[in-house]
Amino acid sequence: MSMKWHPDMNPDADVTSMMQDINEAYAILKNKEKRHRYDQEYALFCTNFTTEKHRKEDCHKTNKAQENEWSYEYDIRDDNLKNDIKNAREYARSLVEEFLKSFKKSSVAAVKGAASNVTSYAIGWVFAGIALSLIGFLIKSCN
């Protein structure tokens, strides 16, 4: 998901919140204990979550269209998991902020580098134009 939603792969989209969500999920799911707490809470959620549109067995079959249709209120029961999610959210936010600062710094450096190269090329072309004009003037005056 990180590769799919990376800013380099989606230059025209604001992917900040998506990258933050991905990093938040990864921060929980990469740790066995946190993942186990999450899985237990998710099972409770699926057991208790029902609507006319979505039955319990549909809980594990989510797609983007279904996700946008769902609205529910659910209070996480496991205090450790609440803390895990809070910490993961803060961690993900800091990662995205750090990445954006680094990206901005790299972009500024690239623009400055390109500008200095353009300036030196432009000066070179101006001098070359002047030199060729002088040579042309000298050749014409000799005739």
Rg (CA), the chain: 29
What residue ranges do the domains of the chain occupy?
2-111
Q: How many percent of the chain have pLDDT more than 90?
A: 22
- Confidence category of residue 36, pLDDT binned at 50, 70, 90: very high
Mean pLDDT value of segment 8-35: 87
Mean pLDDT value of segment 55-64: 51
Task: Name which residue leads in pLDDT, 63 or 10.
Answer: 10
- Looking at residue 115, its pLDDT comes to 75
State the pTM of this model.
Answer: 0.55
State the Cα–Cα distance between residues 108 and 101, nearest whole angstrom.
11
Q: How many CB atoms lie within 10 A of CB 88?
A: 21
Q: SS3 of 51, please? A: coil
Sign, Cα dihedral of 1, 103, 10, 13: positive
State the Cα–Cα distance between residues 28 and 41, nearest whole angstrom.
13
Per-residue pLDDT for 25 more than 50? yes
Per-residue pLDDT for 58 more than 80? no
109, 17, 142, 37: which is closest to 79 by C-alpha? Answer: 37
